[in-house]
Amino acid sequence: MAEKNKKAWGGRFREPLAKTAEEFSSSIAYDSRLFKQDIVGSIAYARALIKAQVLSAAEAKKIIKALEEIMRGMASGRIALKSEFEDVHMNIETLLIAKIGETGKKLHAGRSRNDQVVTDVRMYVKYEVTEIVMLIKKLQTVLVDLADKHIKVIMPGYTHLQRAQPVLLSHHLMAYYEMFSRDKEKFLAAGREADVLVLGSGALAGAGFDIDREALAKELGFSRVSRNSLDAVSDRDFIVSFAAAASLLMTHISRLSEELVIWSTYEFNFVEISDRYTTGSSIMPQKKNPDVAELCRGKAGRVFGDLMRILTILKGLPLAYNRDLQEDKEALFDVIDTVKSVLSIYGEMLAATKFNAEVMTAAARKGYLTATDLAYYLVRRGVPFREAHAIVGQIVAYCEESNMQLEYLSLTQLKQFSPVFTYDVTRVLSAESSIANRDIPGGTAASRVKEAIKRARKDLASDKA
C-alpha cells in the first residue's frame, strides 16, 4: 500500500493533511521554546522505559545520547525546527529517528503528546516562577532602599485623591513592598500547583506500560504525581493561577505607575522621572512624557487579556485532551514575557526617579491634614468623637473662609469653637506630630516604618520569599 500520509500518526489516513491545515495547526513557532524541557522529559522517560522493559539499557543509552546531541544542536542554533512537524514534540522525535533510526521509534511507547506537552509546560512554569520571584525581590529591594533614603520625607496621604492625613513617603513606598510580597506568595503557590508529574498518564487513560512514576517524578524534580490521568492531561488550572498571580502583580504595577504619572505632572510635581525613562514629543518641544510608566500601566491590560484567554479556552472543554489546549501556550508565554520585561525595567526607573521632598512636605502642610488630630485632641479631653468631628469641621470652614491653615490658629480663635482647647493644642497641629502619633503596628510613625524596613530587609535576605 502506498504511503499517502507521511505524518508520524499518518497510518490510517488515505490523504495527506492539507497544507493550509498543516500551517493552521502548527504550534512550532511558539512551542519551540519548550525544547529543553521536552528533551529532559524524554531522557527521563527513556530511563523509565528500561524499568518497564520496553527498552534495553543499550537502546535507552543510544536514545539519551542522541537527545543530548539534539539539545546541544538546538541550544546553539545549529538545528532548526520545521513547521511541517507540527510541534516541538514531533520535531524532536523526528530528529531523533533521523539520527538513530529504529531505536528512536521506540521512545513514544506508553506516552502521548497529551501527557508530554503538559509535563513540559509544568517544568517551564516552575522555572519561570523562580525567575519572576527573583525579579520581584529586586524591585522590592529598590523600594526598600528608597524608603530608607527618604525616611524623613513627609507627604500628604490621600483618600479619594483628596489630601487626607500626613504620612511618610517611606510608608507610601512600603505599601507597594507589601503588595509585591503578596504577589510573590501567589507566584510561589502557582509554582507549587505546577509541581505535579503528569507523564505516565498516557493519552488519557494512563500509560499502558509499567512506568515507575514516582521515580520519574524524582528525576524530573516534581514533588507529586498526578492522581487521575483524565484530569492530568486536561488540567491547565496551574496556568490560570500563574496568570492570575501575574494579573494581580500587574495591577499593583499599574497603580504605582498611575501614581508616578500623576506625581510627575506639573500640577503635582512630587517626582521627576529621569530623562532616561521618559520621552519627548514630536511636536511640543517642552514635553517630557512618562512613557515607560504608562506602558507598564497599559501592559496590565495585556496580561488580564491573557488570563481571560486561558479561562475562556478551558471553560467549554469536555474531558480529556482537546486541541484547544494548544492555545494556552501563547497566552502563557505572553504573560511571562510581559511580566519579566516590566519587572526588569521598573526597578531601574524607580531608582532613577527624583522625589521632590520639599514639594511633598509643603503639600502635606496645606489642606487641613491634621484636622483629625485636632478632633482626637478633643476626644482625649472627653469630647465624644462625633461632637469633636463637628467642632473641627466648623474650624476648617472658618479657616477656609479666612484663608488660613490650622497650624496658624491662635488659642483664642480655637477657644471660640470649644472651651476644651488649651495652650498644648499647638502640639497636635503639625504634620510631624500627626505622623509621630501613628505609633502603632502598621502605622506611619517613623519608628514603625523603620521597623517595617528592617523586617523587609531581613525577608529579602532570607531564602524564603
Nearer to ligand ARG among residue 114 and residue 356 (C-beta):
114
| Residue 256: HSE in the Cβ half-sphere, 13 Å Cα cutoff | 27
Give me 166's grid cell.
500626613
In angstroms, the CA 305 to CA 334 distance is 10
Q: Taking CB under 6 A as the rule, does residue 234 contact ligand ARG? A: no
Q: Taking CB under 6 A as the rule, does residue 113 contact ligand ARG? A: yes
Task: Rule CB under 6 A: choose which of 168, 169, 232, 325 binds ligand ARG.
Answer: 325
Q: Is 160 annotated in the active site?
A: yes
| Residue 277: HSE in the Cβ half-sphere, 13 Å Cα cutoff | 26
Q: Taking CB under 6 A as the rule, does residue 87 contact ligand ARG? A: yes
CA-based radius of gyration for the chain: 31
Nearer to ligand ARG among residue 29 and residue 397 (C-beta):
29
Q: Is 281 annotated in the active site?
A: yes
Active-site residue (options: 56, 223, 281, 447): 281
Spatial neighbors of 266 by CB under 8 A, at least 6 apart, are none
Minimum distance, C-beta of residue 91 to ligand ARG, in the bound complex (Å): 11
Distances, alpha carbon 319 to alpha carbons 7, 301, 315, 323, 399, in Å: 25, 31, 11, 11, 69
Three-state SS at 159 = strand
Task: Rule CB under 6 A: choose which of 37, 114, 119, 430 binds ligand ARG.
Answer: 114
Site for ligand ARG in 207-226 (CB under 6 A): none
Minimum distance, C-beta of residue 89 to ligand ARG, in the bound complex (Å): 6
Nearest Cα to 334, choosing from 372, 306, 358, 301?
306
Nearer to ligand ARG among residue 121 and residue 167 (C-beta):
121
Give me 63's grid cell.
536514545
User: Contact at 8 Å (CB) between 65 and 5?
Assistant: no
CB burial of 51-89 (b: ≥16 within 10 Å; e: otherwise) equals: ebebbeeebbebbbebbeebbeebeeeebebeebbbbbb
Total of chain residues touching ligand ARG, rule CB under 6 A: 11
Q: Going by DSSP bridges, is the β-strand pair 224-225/196-197 parallel, antiparallel, or unpaired?
A: parallel
User: Contact at 8 Å (CB) between 252 and 183?
Assistant: yes
Stretch that binds ligand ARG, among 16-24, 323-331, 333-341, 358-366 (CB under 6 A): 323-331
Minimum distance, C-beta of residue 329 to ligand ARG, in the bound complex (Å): 6
Task: Rule CB under 6 A: choose which of 264, 326, 356, 434 binds ligand ARG.
Answer: 326
Q: Cα 204 to the chain's mean position, in Å? A: 32
Nearer to ligand ARG among residue 315 and residue 323 (C-beta):
323
- Which residue is listed with cell 516590566? 342
Q: Taking CB under 6 A as the rule, does residue 323 contact ligand ARG? A: yes
What is the contact mask toward ligand ARG in residues 16 to 35, using x (rule: CB under 6 A)? -----------x---x----
Q: Taking CB under 6 A as the rule, does residue 233 contact ligand ARG? A: no
Stretch that binds ligand ARG, among 51-59, 194-202, 262-270, 325-333 (CB under 6 A): 325-333
Active-site residue (options: 76, 160, 282, 410): 160
Nearer to ligand ARG among residue 41 and residue 156 (C-beta):
41
Output the CA torsion 26→31→32→35 (10° steps).
-130
Distances, alpha carbon 239 to alpha carbons 124, 133, 202, 302, in Å: 11, 16, 21, 16
Q: Taking CB under 6 A as the rule, does residue 117 contact ligand ARG? A: yes
Nearer to ligand ARG among residue 254 and residue 326 (C-beta):
326
Q: Taking CB under 6 A as the rule, does residue 122 contact ligand ARG? A: no
Minimum distance, C-beta of residue 87 to ligand ARG, in the bound complex (Å): 4
What is the contact mask toward ligand ARG in residues 276 to 315, using x (rule: CB under 6 A)? ----------------------------------------
In angstroms, the CA 45 to CA 59 distance is 13
Nearer to ligand ARG among residue 171 and residue 329 (C-beta):
329
Stretch that binds ligand ARG, among 112-120, 164-172, 286-294, 356-364 (CB under 6 A): 112-120
Three-state SS at 354 = strand
Nearer to ligand ARG among residue 32 and residue 372 (C-beta):
32
Strands (E) located in 115-208 = 154-159, 162-168, 196-197
Where along the sequence are the contacts to ligand ARG (CB under 6 A)? 27, 31, 87, 113-114, 117, 321, 323, 325-326, 329
Residues annotated catalytic, as ranges: 160, 281
